[in-house]
Amino acid sequence: MHGILRTDRLLLKPAATVDASRLTAISEPTATDRISKLVENQVSWWKEYSYGLWLIVLPTTETLAGWCGLRPGNSPSEPELLFGLAAGERKRGIATEAVQAVLAYAFALPNMCSRLRLCEDLMARSCWRVRGGDIEGDC
């Protein structure tokens, strides 16, 4: 299993298939099937590409706040960045902090392109491309 990421306020733990029920419990009811498939698929991504999904945990309370991670895009070197938060954890900068940690991890991987596709909450409501640190809207 790959490493744990830490930020000032967060602990990001690699997700395992047993975490699917915890993630669906904090998600929108319509996202249950997609999240279950995501958690199942990401196990192979860790093995093949050295990236996958992290649980976002508030370490002081061990509260599961959401998830953040990478999934293969058109090319494994250009993965999609995705995240989702429990409704009560939004608007506190948690997603921003988690995304920064995951991007730092991603750009340290060999052969990683500087372009990632960002999809919020697996719903593709908001998509951007990250190019050289700049975020450009394209969806």
Question: In this predicted model, what pLDDT tens digit does every residue of 76-109 receive, in sequence order?
Answer: 888 888 888 998 898 899 998 999 899 888 888 8
8 Å CB contact between 52 and 89: no
**SS3 state at 120:** strand
Higher confidence at residue 139 or residue 58? 58
Mean pLDDT over 113-129 rounds to 46
**What CATH number corresponds to the domain at position 122?**
3.40.630.30
Indicate if the pLDDT at residue 68 is higher than 60. yes
Dump the DSSP string for 49-86: HS--EEEEEETTTTEEEEEEEEE--SSTTSPEEEEEE-
Question: What are φ and ψ of residue 41, in 5° steps?
Answer: -70, -35
- d(CA 76, CA 51) in angstroms, rounded, equals 10
What residue numbers bound the domain in which 100 lies?
5-137
Q: Record the tokens describing residue 17, joined without a space.
A: 């298939």
Query: How many domains are contained in the chain?
Result: 1
Question: In this predicted model, what pLDDT tens digit does every residue of 6-61 receive, in sequence order?
Answer: 999 999 999 998 999 899 888 877 777 888 888 999 999 999 999 999 999 999 99
Q: Which helix (H) or strand (E) holds 131?
A: strand 127-131
- d(CA 101, CA 124) in angstroms, rounded, equals 21
| pLDDT for 51 | 92
pLDDT band at 131 (very low <50, low <70, confident <90, very high): very low
Mean pLDDT over 111-138 rounds to 47
Task: Report the relative pairing of strands 5-6 and 11-14 from DSSP bridges.
Answer: antiparallel
Q: Record the tokens describing residue 104, joined without a space.
A: 């730092």
Residue in 7, 65, 13 with CA at minimum distance from that of residue 42: 13
- pTM beyond cutoff 0.85: no
